[in-house]
């Protein structure tokens, strides 16, 4: 029981299994109770998402500051470029492979109105402002704080970030398995559940393969820059990779990532600057997963995929990923606003995204962490002089 209590992944797996098993067994009245909870929790998510965006993005941008000059620009540029490359690579592969993989699933998801569990009641909780307003506001305030002497304002938003993190850790994460249970209960009742589960397995396999290929590419590029064997460089980073599999947190893995990076002969000063920064702003593996999962869900639900909308989604996702807190599942929480504002995902689609993401969270975090080591190698090669000049 203690293991289940401490593992969000196990809780979600249990919620999916119980929802699938009990969907045809529970009395309708009981099932409608869980549907009512989902309606309330879904409305709460819609309310809190803009606040999550402001609470996480403003401090993330504001705390970067300007203390490291060109080295900060180089590291941030490489991290953002890596994240975008992961996103566009994932889009290209997903849009090429998934239509064939998921063709049968998309024809099996039609649901009649009487097959949907109706909640007993629902309470509307309108957000204070919409998602796009939250994004623009967060960017404006964050950039101004990072450039100006707004120490009091910076402190306020750092405290607001703590409030939002408390809401995520004490409210959203604990009730998330129950919400997912309700989603799968409803899908079982409507006859959709086995299609969704089959889709999950196919997506997970493709995304894991994408992670491996992307890591090889990152280290091939880093090896080319530093003129060293990329596979030897990857071998030295394996302790960080496997630690991230266990912690599911880039931040918690920083000490091991730093030690592994030093084994690749990166300057201690460069490693000490790049690794903690990249643990916050470099989430290529997370972006890769989110893009692939979004495309898969859109395909099986027969939602048209607009290439220009996906380009905007990936560009915006690359920015919002810097707001991902160092906790398991943090990246998908930071991405909910973009999923809603750009792709139009509703609460149920967002929940499926969370379930898919958490199922692969360890591998995405490990990909992020391993990629941090590749960025440190490149920065060490081209940015040492800039760093020394700021000392």
- Does the pLDDT at position 32 exceed 70? yes
Secondary structure (3-state) at 10: helix
Residue-number span of the structural domain to which 294 is assigned: 1-388
Token pair 């491996």 is found at 212
Query: Residue 47: exposed, middle, or buried by beta-carbon count in 10 A (0-12, 13-18, 19+)?
Result: middle
Q: Rounded to the nearest 5 degrees, what angle is found at the Cα of 8, between the Cα atoms of 5 and 11?
A: 65
Which of 140 and 88 is assigned the larger pLDDT?
88
Please report which confidence band the pLDDT of residue 110 belongs to, taking 50, 70 and 90 as the band edges: very low
- Does the pLDDT at position 381 exceed 80? yes
Distance CA 177, CA 192 (A): 19
Mean pLDDT (the chain, rounded): 79
The strand ranges marked E within 168-280 are: none
Q: What is the pLDDT of residues 288-327, one digit of tens each?
A: 988 988 888 888 778 888 889 899 899 888 877 765 555 5
- In the DSSP assignment, the letter for residue 68 is T
Q: Which residues contact 208 (CB under 8 A, 6 or more apart)?
A: 360, 363
Query: Residue 365: exposed, middle, or buried by beta-carbon count in 10 A (0-12, 13-18, 19+)?
Result: buried
**In the predicted model, what is the mean pLDDT of residues 118-144?**
81
Q: Into how many domains does the chain fold?
A: 1
**In the predicted model, what is the mean pLDDT of residues 273-285?**
80
Q: What is the CATH number of the domain that holds 282?
A: 1.10.3860
Distance CA 293, CA 62 (A): 30
Q: Which residues contact 138 (CB under 8 A, 6 or more apart)?
A: 53, 54, 57, 58, 61, 323
What share of the chain has pLDDT > 70, as a percent?
Answer: 81
- Does the pLDDT at position 49 exceed 50? yes
DSSP letters along 20-58, please?
HHHTTTS-HHHHHHHHHHHHHHHHHHHHHHHHHHHHHHH
User: Hey, what's the torsion of the CAs at 225, 80, 366, 208, to 10 degrees?
Assistant: -90
Q: Which residues contact 107 (CB under 8 A, 6 or more apart)?
A: none
- Does the pLDDT at position 329 exceed 90? no
């Amino acid at each position: 029981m203690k293991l289940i209590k401490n593992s969000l992944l196990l809780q979600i797996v249990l919620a999916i299994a119980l929802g699938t098993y009990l969907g045809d067994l529970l009395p309708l009245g009981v099932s409608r109770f869980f549907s009512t909870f989902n309606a309330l929790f879904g409305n709460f998510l819609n309310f809190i998402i803009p606040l999550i965006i402001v609470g996480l993005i403003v401090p993330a941008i504001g705390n970067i500051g300007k203390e490291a000059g060109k080295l900060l620009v180089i590291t941030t540029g490489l991290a953002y470029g890596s994240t975008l490359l992961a996103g566009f690579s994932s889009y290209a592969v997903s849009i090429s492979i998934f239509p064939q993989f998921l063709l049968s699933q998309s024809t099996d998801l039609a649901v009649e109105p009487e097959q949907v569990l109706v909640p007993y009641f629902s309470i509307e909780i309108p957000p204070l402002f919409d998602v796009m307003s939250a994004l623009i506001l967060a960017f404006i305030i964050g950039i101004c704080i990072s450039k100006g002497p707004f120490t009091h304002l910076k402190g306020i938003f750092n405290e607001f970030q703590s409030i939002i993190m408390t809401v995520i850790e004490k409210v959203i994460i604990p009730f998330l398995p129950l919400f997912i249970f309700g989603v799968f209960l409803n899908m079982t009742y409507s006859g959709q559940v086995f299609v969704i589960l089959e889709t999950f397995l196919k997506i997970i396999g493709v995304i894991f393969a994408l992670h491996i290929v992307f890591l090889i590419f990152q280290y091939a590029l880093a090896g080319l820059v530093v003129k060293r064997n990329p596979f030897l460089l990857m071998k030295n980073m394996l302790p960080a990779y496997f630690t991230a599999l266990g912690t599911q947190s880039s931040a918690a893995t920083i000490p091991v990532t730093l030690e592994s990076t030093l084994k690749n002969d990166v300057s201690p000063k460069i490693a000490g600057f790049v690794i903690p920064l990249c643990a916050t702003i470099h989430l290529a593996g997370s972006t890769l997963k989110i893009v692939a999962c979004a495309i898969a869900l859109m395909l099986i639900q027969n939602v048209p995929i607009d290439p220009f909308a996906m380009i905007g989604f990936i560009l915006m996702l690359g920015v919002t990923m810097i707001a991902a807190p160092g906790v398991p599942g943090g990246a998908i929480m930071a991405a909910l606003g973009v999923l809603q504002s750009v792709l139009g995902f509703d609460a149920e689609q967002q929940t499926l995204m969370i379930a898919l993401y958490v199922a692969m969270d360890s591998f995405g975090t490990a990909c992020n962490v391993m990629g941090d080591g590749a960025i440190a190698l490149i920065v060490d090669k081209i940015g040492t002089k800039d760093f020394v000049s700021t000392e």
